[in-house]
Amino acid sequence: MKQDFYFKKALWIGADKRTTEAFSVLRGHFKAADAEKVTLRVLGLGFFKCYINGKCINPDTFLPLSSDYENTCDPVDEVISAHRIYVPEFDITPFVENGENVIAVHYGGGWYCFENRAFGLPKAIYCISVENETGVTDFVSDENCKIGKSFVTDYRFTYRENRDYSVWEDCLGKDFDDSGWKNAVVTEQLETDYCSTACPADALIESLVPEKIGKGEEGVVYDCLKNTTGYPVLKINAPEGESVKVVFSEEIMPDGKIDKEHWQGQECTIISDGKGRIVQPDFTWYGFRCFEVIGDAQVIEVKVIHSDVAVNSTFECSNETLNWIYNTFIHTMLCNMHTGHPSDCPHLERRGYTGDGQLTTHAVFTVLDARELYEKWLQDIADGQDALSGHIQYTAPYIQSGGGPGGWGSAIVEVPYQFYKHFGNTALLEKYYHNMRRYIDYLEEHSEFGLVTSDKAGEWCLGDWCGPNILYPDKDITSHNQQVVLPAAMVNTYFMVKSLEKMRHIARLIDKTEDIAEYEAKIALRKNAVTGAYFNAFDDNFIMNIQGANAFGVDIGLGNENTYKNLVSYYEKLGHFDTGIFATDILIRTLFEKGDAELAVKLLTNNGEQGYEHWRVNGATTFHEYWDSNRSRSHNHPMFGAPVAYFFEYLLGIRQPKDCGGYNELIIAPECIEKFGYMNGSMMIPAGKVAVSYVNKDGITEFTVEIPEGVNAEFVYKDNRFPLVSGGNNFLIRN
């Protein structure tokens, strides 16, 4: 929609001398007489905090939500398909006084002014609509507003937010005299689509009391006892002009000091005005477990901040590793939900990588109520598609990043397809079907001899990612993707085939059957190319059967009867993962689908260095970017959590018939039961809660299954088949 739909005659305004690093405070005055309702629409770019008569109306949020705001920094040689900005709306009636009122908008930084992709200079706009018995009066931002400096003096979105209160005037309240301030100036207006969204914003989720560990190198070290996202709240006791510095880390050393290897550059410095202020960041969050406070300050609490997404599942069993994987995936995923998109990590990059995101969508929809967040993110993916070539970006919203043409770009197919599988939603399949077809055309243009061999010129062309270093075990390989042996062309062509197979199904669902023959021809061509290039008839393996190579082939129906047998034999002997982010998921799913649940569980619970148990016993509270915990990269990456979906789909057995969506029909078929003393779990489907539990005792398994009304369900275990009714179902089976 156009700007005036939300903002009437309001203007984008800012300071007369600005840089992308500058923060400002905008003040405006408005009257309210016998107001029945007062509505505010406001934007400050990059992020903003808004105050009505000195009271903050959006604490602990980072608004507006991320998006491709405008066309000022599209990718080189590409044209982003759409640009939009999400307009938040507030009912500020409780904040408004009868008579004179003041709005103050503190703004700057954020994604809009992000140093890696600055769209433009900081700016703000607002419209206040006062309703009373005489009608509606609008007060809007214009050049009559006043503008002053912020206390934020040094800022980098992913690293720091430094403040200087020694030269700060408390200008956010109603009583401040702004007559000496300069008038704001009209800035460039945004050429964009203004819109609303139901996507949840960041919010205060939890308050922690960190444990005081003792002295660090310069100050006092505090431990939150888990990796988290947010920030500490401090009372600054330092005299005027003296500073307090906070340094963050994801890990704590055995001697109680913070681990600088996992600092990730995160810090903040506050220069005191001697007034004993209580302070917290307004324009960034941190990803950390521990922090060191250098200077005279008291830690009040640690605020856990992320998107307000609810957990709507449960899982517990007699194996502590699986319990840890489930709980840690949820915690890691929530740590990586900020500003309306799922991210790779909450500190170093914070970007909505399409590879990480599409990989974990099935698991996310299984365990979290994230539908509205992902619907917004799916729009980001489509918005970022190159209007010229059909290329899907590696991140959504787009920021210059690395990735590949298969595992990343296939998000445009996988994410809407998972909406259908989980919610029965075909509307999104129809909405984004054209985008899917454009992307397949792009992959065709970047293929040779039937294989996807390249991506955008000058960019990475990754296949799998973050596998263990099996080629050079004595070297710390951190550059590019040298630790992954699998050819990128094989991996990317696999993802093209999987996308085409899903599009063949989608075409049936949305009455595009005329396209099916085309997809089948493309699938056959690509499968033949993968077999010809990578299958060795001498030993019936793809690429020596390492790093999940056979799983890639088997999952798209390639190889022969020995190929899968070789896969099973190899991992039975190996006993741990040698796989990257995609192959780990494909391997575990393939084992479950083929009936080798015990081997899948063996790998999931292995205690070698390439496994989740290694993370658990070494104190990890979030998944790491690499299996090797000693790597200095992120210790808060959710991508290895994709197999959590199969805890529900196979271990609990909650699945639907092939090609069905929305869970209107259920098959409850638990697997690997004898491995566990007990297991119970639940998940939400559109009709309500599905719950499965069992206990093994004295050779008898006692099952309890809860089915919501309106769902046709059947229980299957070994040779037993029972129809299930809505409500509770209980029965005993002798093993």
Domain limits, the chain: 3-150+167-198, 203-307, 310-651, 654-734
Q: Which residues contact 239 (CB under 8 A, 6 or more apart)?
A: 272, 274, 296
pLDDT digits (tens, 9 = 90+) for 444-472: 999 999 999 999 988 889 999 998 876 55
- In the predicted structure, residue 512 carries a pLDDT above the cut 70: yes
- Average of per-residue pLDDT across 244-253: 97
8 Å CB contact between 60 and 303: yes
The CATH fold of domain 310-651 = Glycosyltransferase (1.50.10)
If one counts every other C-beta atom within 10 angstroms of the C-beta of residue 125, the result is 27
Domains 3-150+167-198 and 203-307 share a fold: yes
Query: What's the confidence (pLDDT) of residue 480?
Result: 43
Identify the H or E element spanning 387.
none
Q: How many helices (H) and strands (E) does the chain have?
A: 14, 41
- Average of per-residue pLDDT across 318-322: 98
| Continuous H helices in 368-486 | 371-384, 411-423, 427-445
pLDDT digits (tens, 9 = 90+) for 332-389: 999 999 999 999 999 999 999 999 999 999 999 999 999 999 999 999 999 999 999 9
Identity of residue 6: Y
CATH number of 654-734: 2.60.420.10
How much is the mean pLDDT over the chain? 95
If you ran DSSP here, which 8-state letter would residue 134 be given? Answer: T
Cα(196)–Cα(89) distance, integer angstroms: 9
Record the pTM.
0.97
Query: What's the confidence (pLDDT) of residue 144?
Result: 96
Strand, coil or helix: 597: helix
Cα(47)–Cα(64) distance, integer angstroms: 6
The CATH fold of domain 203-307 = Jelly Rolls (2.60.120)
Helix 488-509 crosses helix 516-534 at what angle (to 10 degrees)?
A: 160
**E strands within 555-685?**
654-655, 665-668, 678-685
Query: In this prediction, what percent of the chain has a pLDDT beyond 90?
Result: 90
Tell me the residue length of the chain: 735
Query: What's the confidence (pLDDT) of residue 628?
Result: 84
- pLDDT grade for 565, boundaries at 50, 70 and 90: very high
Task: Output the six-digit token pair for 698.
Answer: 């004295």
Task: Output the six-digit token pair for 23.
Answer: 């923060």
Superfamily of domain 3-150+167-198: Galactose-binding domain-like (2.60.120.260)
Query: What's the confidence (pLDDT) of residue 734?
Result: 87
Select from 502, 500, 524, 504 the least CA-distant residue to 513: 504
Cα(227)–Cα(250) distance, integer angstroms: 6
If you ran DSSP here, which 8-state letter would residue 75 be given? Answer: P
- pLDDT grade for 196, boundaries at 50, 70 and 90: very high
Select from 407, 418, 417 the least CA-distant residue to 355: 407
- In the predicted structure, residue 199 carries a pLDDT above the cut 60: yes
8 Å CB contact between 687 and 663: yes
